[in-house]
A and B are shown apart, each in its own frame.
Chain A
């Protein structure tokens, strides 16, 4: 397609406009919440609603002070380690459950039962069963995210197209090739979604896990703020985790956009 130059410029301007509009609609809710908070801070003492200026000063301070930044990184590390552990164990369980009816019947109720156990209970069990902070936290993170990972991967495996699987089987692949050419690409979209969902869950659980066991990390720091009634500090530490989740989600979405570009896009959305 060829376009005259002014036309092309017009198109480009339109595209830029669309991007700005989208960015604006994305940040609008944040602006509203922040605005309401800022108004509240004028009428309440700082230990209830501190000014956002103070909060962001603290956020910045955390980011540029290695002592504090290392706490954030430690927590992120714990989230990622726990998720990775739960994902690999969950994926292995899901494969076993997808292949064997009896394994499925046996494991499903157990995992469902796990889902009903509160994070705080796992914290108590972890303290009783394990020594050392990191193994305890890892255990808590794995146990709280394992059921959903397993069920999500299992659902993806069971939802695979039977037609396509039969087609691939007709070429008689080895087990490794079956995974590579069929199973992994077929379930990848669901795996990405599972990571997005569990990332949010894990970042909420990690603080609980750290509250009791750890001597460092965001959860530990939050506990310190609570003891001195420092609302700005509590918010600043919380925001670190929120930012992490937002960034991680954005990265996953970016990867999705590249990996799943084979998908047909409809101009009509749901």
Chain B
């Protein structure tokens, strides 16, 4: 897929941490993500994936360079992005004092959606993720997989057209992760979202992305491939081989 109008744009983005900004986590990164693209961002643990994620999400500001989402600065234009970006974190990050349905409704509350509609929407997404009957449970009473489902429902409920995911299934067991991944992929496609999906698993990246970007430490692009929709198994295996070479070197 050729990148349509880029909706997320990183231009020579650097992020440094520590005393005197001595540690460079992201180094002059250029990255464009087209509207409707499903980008899998792949790299080893500690290579700066979450740092990139936080900059796109507007949770941190780059040390230098420019990040734009939909033509705006996601860190500075705080209010402009309300309801525009939805996030699924690695851990579920549910508010322990809220029930499942109240957690799913959180983003809608920020958008001033009236309680009745909020509740209906939240229930709709809980239903989509197979959680009906658990809407009034508090997070501590749910299993890890169910909690991550609630957090996915929370991300979809606001109907933001940009979806950012930071290794959302890596804390789950193999089986649960696989089921949830398939459901998630279906939901993303059904709802025509632009998504950046961060992962350290080659399999997951190949399964989810229609474009794969492989990062090396400090975060710079080592490989950038697009997968055809009708990509053959041989093709995928060839790409897997290339990714493995890049990550090994």
Contacts and interface: CB of A to CB of B under 8 A. Distances in A.
A168 B59 contact: no
Contact of A172 (B81, B93, B138, B141): B81
B23 interface: no
B164 to A, nearest CB: 9
A10 interface: no
Interface stretch (A70-78, A84-92, A126-134, A159-167): A159-167
A163 B93 contact: yes
A181 B59 contact: no
- The winner among A169, A171, A185 for most chain B CB atoms within 10 A is A171
Given A164-B95, A182-B95, A170 B140 contact: no
B106 A171 contact: yes
Interface string A167-202: 111111110010001100100000000000000000
Nearest to B60: A166
A169 B83 CA distance: 12
Contacts of A177: 109-110
A254 interface: no
Contacts of A167: 87, 89, 93
- The winner among B85, B96, B99, B138 for most chain A CB atoms within 10 A is B96
Contacts of B78: 172
A185 B82 CA distance: 22
B15 to A, nearest CB: 16
A185 B97 contact: yes
B57 A170 contact: yes
B55 to A, nearest CB: 13
Contacts of B79: 172
- The winner among B79, B106, B138, B140 for most chain A CB atoms within 10 A is B106
Interface residues of B, number: 26
A57 B93 CA distance: 57
Contacts of A166: 59, 93
Contacts of A185: 95, 97
B91 A172 contact: no
Contacts of B138: 262
A181 B81 contact: no
Given A167-B89, A170-B85, A171-B82, A181 B106 contact: yes
Interface string A190-219: 000000000000000000000000000000
A263 interface: yes
A264 interface: yes
Contacts of A264: 140-141
Nearest to A264: B140
B107 interface: yes
27 contacts: A163-B89, A163-B93, A164-B95, A168-B106, A169-B59, A170-B87, A171-B107, A171-B158, A172-B78, A172-B81, A172-B82, A172-B83, A172-B110, A173-B110, A177-B109, A177-B110, A181-B106, A181-B109, A182-B95, A185-B95, A185-B97, A260-B97, A262-B96, A262-B97, A262-B99, A263-B96, A263-B140
Interface of A: 163-164, 166-174, 177, 181-182, 185, 260, 262-264
